[in-house]
Amino acid sequence: MLSLGILGSGSGSNMQAIVDAIEDGRLDARIALVLSDNPSAYILERASKYGIPTGIIDCSPFRMKFPEEVQEQTAMKLKEAGVDLVCLAGFMRLVKQPLLDAFPSAILNIHPSLLPAFPGLEAWKQAVDAGVSESGVTVHLVDSGMDTGPILGQEKVPVLPGDTPESLHARIQISEHQLYPQIIAEYSKRLKP
């Protein structure tokens, strides 16, 4: 059975979608550990409700940087928990070499746009501001760039007339919650014989 580690900074709605997929048999996996760089993130509370071990990634005093030594500690925690695949779920820091080296081709991210369009923060707002007719969701392998890794799956979401960033984001999240567990299940077949 695939052992997942989840890194998140926010509410954990994508972690919840993964839990739901495991519980209803769409994903043959278990979540071994949930880590957050935000001690008050709801993802930690969600995980605790399911008895999933949690921990804090302490990046202080940095607001956005993910220091190398902290990445090494994070990799060690994930390895100690027996994690096979790391899933970023609203994790707001850029993963670099120490973590990438520890989990080669085994870190996935979900991004709220049709990459390569609108990488980075608030992609749904970028899409509305740009006046495009469609956006969507991308699941990709993480490399050292900002949302630049190989794409594993995408789903289109139309940008409707009168959409606000908030209304578009809400629809994108529905697609995220369907696509991420599906791609994790598909990709896990490549990891384990």
Compute the distance between CA of residue 158 and CA of residue 177 in angstroms, rounded to an integer.
16
Residue 125 Rama label (left phi>0; alpha psi -120 to 50; beta): alpha
Instruction: Extract the tokens encoding 73.
Output: 């500690």
From the candidates 111, 140, 169, 177, which is the catalytic residue? 111
User: Which tokens sit at 149?
Assistant: 């890794």
Residues in the chain: 193
| Total Cβ atoms within 10 A of residue 175 | 18
| Alpha carbons 166 and 163: distance in angstroms, whole number | 8
111 noted as active-site residue? yes
By CB atoms closer than 10 A (0-12, 13-18, 19+), residue 78 is: buried
Strand partners, 122: none
With beta carbons less than 8 A apart as the criterion, state whether 97 and 75 touch: no
With a CB cutoff of 8 Å and minimum separation 6, the contacts of 147 are: 109, 111, 115, 116, 119, 120, 138, 140
**Which tokens hold the place of 11?**
């509410």
Residues annotated as catalytic are: 111
